[in-house]
Amino acid sequence: MPRTFKIGAAQSGPIQLADSKKSIVKRLVEMMKQAASEGCDVVVFTELALTTFFPRYFTEDRAEMDKYFETEMPGPITQPLFDTAREKGIGFYLGYGEITPEGLHYNTAILVDKSANIVGKYRKVHLPGHVEFDTKRTHQHLEKRYFSPGDLGFNAWRTMGGIMGMAICNDRRWPETYRVMGLQGVEVIMLGYNTPSVNSQYNSEGPEIRKFHSRLSMQAGAYQNSTYVVGVAKAGNEDGFPLFGDSCIVDPNGHVIAHATTEEDELVVAECDLDLCNFGKETIFDFARHRRIEHYGLITEQTGVIAPD
Ligand code: ING
């Protein structure tokens, strides 16, 4: 009997500066209802799903960006997501900007089960970009200015009939992200991303190669840890700044089994058998039998490159 788990990847189309969080939540609830009507067990939303990708804008006073963050989850704005999840019996992943009671700012995601309980929280570890305005870039990417590096690590939670993990955007480019969760037996890694269509430091790097790198990273992570990976974009043109879509669901063999075809709100659905993870975990990627950790020390002892003389 397959351990069926139906996944809905709810890609978001563009969010403009003028769009209210209330109007965005309405869009997300619509996709959640569509996912529930198609029998999904979980719906995966994107990174910073409630707002435009505000780290593209520089403000001297960082507190000006607090309006893009949430101080409570759920709060009045996001409560309809939890109410609908409970009513429909569907879980969800939601990416958002978090301000803690201590006033710290994180790029955060939560995992919510079918009873609308927050099962887990993740704070983005790998923050790309820079802190100060960079005159050499065609557009800014100020995540290191507005967020602190995540302090919760990479965890996995047994919920909704499987072992679930979370990551956010740039995390998908780093093999350590997947392996730490792979060492916890993860079967589904959910992640949202907001990825500019053009490299701000190398403009001839356009959407095609960037989509290739996005899929390459997620397919490799899925295969090398025998897990499903769900990557969900915020896509489209936000106030003149294009983000690519290509949301996709990758199976434990590294195959893209479903993907978006638009740069709008689009639900991508795949019925998955979580037991498809087992063969890889029990053979080629049976970590206990094959890994040789005595040779891996540099990975945690050293941050940057130290090349031979
Ligand atoms: N966005 C991009 C991402 O990692 C990026 C930043 C793009 C870094 C391409 C390197 C190359 O997909 C976020 N939000 O991390």
- Which CATH number covers residue 264? 3.60.110.10
- Measured CA to CA, the distance from residue 11 to residue 194 in angstroms comes to 10
170-193 average pLDDT score: 99
Q: Is residue 13 in a domain?
A: yes
How far does residue 95's CA lie from ligand 1's centre (Å)?
A: 15
Mean pLDDT check: name the lowest of 85-99, 143-157, 196-210, 219-233. Answer: 196-210
Q: Is residue 307 in a domain?
A: no
Pocket of ligand 1 (CB under 6 A): 128, 169-170, 173, 193-195, 210
What's the confidence (pLDDT) of residue 98?
A: 99
Strands annotated E in the chain: 4-11, 42-44, 69-70, 91-99, 105-112, 118-123, 156-159, 162-168, 188-193, 228-233, 236-238, 241-243, 248-250, 256-259, 266-273
How far does residue 81's CA lie from ligand 1's centre (Å)?
A: 27
Structure confidence at residue 298 as a pLDDT band (50, 70, 90): very high
Structural domains of the chain, count: 1
Q: Is residue 308 in a domain?
A: no
Q: Is residue 306 in a domain?
A: no
Q: Is residue 62 in a domain?
A: yes
**From atom 14 of ligand 1, which residue's Cα is the shortest distance away?**
194
Pocket-testing residue among 96, 127, 134, 173, ligand 1, by greatest number of atoms within 8 A of Cβ:
173
Domain range for residue 180?
A: 4-301
Q: Is residue 309 in a domain?
A: no
pTM summary value: 0.98
**From atom 2 of ligand 1, which residue's Cα is the shortest distance away?**
195
